[in-house]
Structure 1
Amino acid sequence: MRTRLPLLLLIIMLTSALMLSACSKSTSGSEKDDITLRVAYNLWVGSAGLFVAESKGFFEEAGVKVELIQFPSPTEATQALISGNVDIALTTLDTAVMVKTNELQGQHLKVFSFTDLSMGADGIVASKDIKTIADLKGKTVAATIGTVNHFLLNHALQLAGLSEKDVKLSNVSPEQTGPLFIAGQVDAAVTWEPYLSEALTGGGNLLYSTKDAPDLIVDGVMTSQAMIDDHAQALRNLVTAIDKGTAFYYSNTDEAADIAAKKLETTKDEVIAMMGGVKLLKQDEVKAMLTGKDSTLEARTEEYSSFFFERKLIDKEVKADDILDSFLFK
């Protein structure tokens, strides 16, 4: 008994220590990962949760290191993900579908969360003499082939009984569509906030926006399968911090809008006005979107794919299962 009792005590002590350690991890809500997540974003008001999380120290609180890297548009942000210059890209779902077919062998790019829905913050603006989408026939419209504004233009034209062949499409980079219209170089443009508000302030006429089609454009968070496999907890912590930033925006709108305004190089009041056309998504809403309770997301993904495939902008169709990942909720 003298030789076995200390061993028994040792086993009990080790077991207790392991239980305490497991309990500590399960109640903390996060585990630290030494990786610094390089996150690509563009100047979009729907990323307010991200901007607030950075400013308020929510990433550190969640136990994740984050470096934000700005790009001109969702397309460039996602291209940086493919090239390995960033680990995560905040991008539109349609852009994610587009670049999916360009991923490198073994990358398996996935959209694993969503930040916002455009509900009026993307739109088609035209000169004052153009009153309806039908009036665009024969006019020059600035858009970017193979991007979200191209998809939005096509959607609106179809509703008016027109096609892309009925307009003169000026294919320019996404961040230039609004400025070109403001400069009077095109008859109309498909653009987003803050360019949309600037165009309207400059005398533009809003013909159509995502207020008319609130589930048409959704912004998500994309990464590689390797990041999910190797740094799942860091990704969870990232999303937790952004979610906290989103909640902070709605509970402390003045302060949060001021934070976003500094990023967007505009004013607090303009951010609040622009947010009238955006719905920031909370994680319970994202869960419903990704776990099958909301079939709209799957249908929209495959609609984007068909749109690009028919125009030979991608060489194979992308299915929802190929690109969406719900690991956060498993």
Structure 2
Amino acid sequence: MKKRNRLSLVLLVLVTMVVSACGKTSSKSDDITLRISYNLWVGSAGLFIADSKGYFDEAGVKVKLVEFANPTEATQALLSNNVDIASTTLDTAVMVKTNELPKQDLRVFNLTDLSNGADGIVAGKDIKSIKDLKGKNVAATIGAVNHFLLDHALKQAGLSESDINLSNVSPEQTGPLFLANKVDAAVTWEPYLSEALANGGNLIFSTKEDPDLIIDGMMTSADMITDHEGALRKVVAAIEKGTQFYYSNTDEAAKIVAMKLETSADEVKAMMDGVKLIQQDEVKSKMTDGMSSLEARTQEYSKFFFEQKLISKEIKAADLFDTFLFK
């Protein structure tokens, strides 16, 4: 009988070790390296600074940053389990949500920044307004954030995509195509937007006219929230510290971000004029009391992609967001 008890105890220990190795521990376990995807976007300043200044280590969480060319690729990496957290735009989160596996249940759990002029449509000098795009060649990426921005701007001007010649190219190539005079206009973001303007481009629309149009945040799976809630909270705390550092030590912070974006600190400061880094008190407000605006924006994204036949079903905000940070 004693032997059986000892054997059962050994088996129990072995089973516990196996479960732990598989990452199925309780939410108290923070012993994990969280892989966070990102693209070269100035609005990720809080993330870049947290990594450079060692704030993740200080918070007691292990993090590995994984670079992708654009938000779409960065978020799709969640689908293949190549990353644990994606830095993404809200519209991209809506699109990727429709492609998740049943057990993934991807959720946006944090907001990081919003575009306040850092995304826009740049055109040749003879094009003065959105209405002047009629019949012109415009570079954008079908199914990406710049496609949504273009559609939004066209509708405000009383036009539709049928009024332009849409060139579907990868997001990071829209700006360079315009600079090479291959298209009449391009939908792009910083740092490409500033480069286009510095080389003779004319800004005919930007998110400064609609600052809640493009919102960035962080997405993960429901399992990650269940199993590693503590680690996720530490990640958010470290990024919050990085965000606060930018505003309290802007000169040093701009240099850190500039190294990541391979540009100058002055250019980073200029780009940040078109971006608002969202601190946690405002995140809480937007994701709890102000949830109605996020719901409306989610519905707008979902309807657009559904009408474009880019997603098979519309997404509801209730299925997209998780507010565990504020409970």
Please give the TM-score of this superposition, normalised by the length of structure 1: 0.90
Kept in 1: contact 2:29–2:227 (CA 8 A): no
Name which of 49, 53, 73 aligns with 1:52: 49
Counting only pairs closer than 5 Å after superposition, residues 169-318 of structure 1 correspond to structure 2 as 169-318=166-315
Instruction: Report the equivalent of 2:145.
Output: 148
Who is 1:19 aligned against? none
1:245 & 1:305 partners in 2: Cα distance? 32
* SS of structure 1 residue aligned to 2:114: strand
Aligned residues: CA RMSD: 1.1
Deviation digits for residues 220-266 of structure 1 (CA, Å, limit 9, x no counterpart): 10000010000000000000000000000000000000000000000
Q: Report the AA paired with residue 240 of structure 2.
A: D
**Which of 124, 136, 148 is the matching residue for 1:127?**
124
- Structure 2: stretches of 5+ with no match in the other structure: 1-27
Verify the 8 A CA contact 2:88 2:218 in the aligned structure 1. Answer: yes
Provide the residue aligned with 2:30 in structure 1.
Answer: 33
Q: Deviation per CA, 1:156-186: give whole Å up to 9, x if none.
A: 1111110010000000011110111011100
Shift of 1:104: 1.4
Matched, 1:81 2:74: no
C-alpha distance after superposition, 1:168-207 (max 9, x if no partner): 0000011110111011100000000000000000100000
One-letter identity of the residue aligned with 2:242: G
Whole-angstrom CA distance in 1 between matches of 2:33 and 2:289: 31
> What percentage of residue pairs aligned between the two structures are identical?
73
Distance 2:56 2:30 in 1: 12
Q: How many residues align?
A: 301
Looking at structure 2, the residues matched to 289 and 271 of structure 1 have their Cα atoms a distance apart, in angstroms, of: 26
Q: CA deviation at 1:293?
A: 2.9
Q: Secondary structure of 1:295's partner?
A: helix
Contact 1:32–1:64, Cα closer than 8 Å, also in 2: no
In the alignment, the residues of structure 2 paired with residue 258 and residue 296 of structure 1 have an alpha-carbon distance, to the nearest angstrom, of 34
Shift of 1:294: 4.3
> Structure 1: 5+ residue runs without aligned partners?
1-30
Deviation at 1:50? 0.3
Where do 1:83-98 residues align within 5 Å? Answer: 83-98=80-95
3-state secondary structure, aligned to 2:209: coil
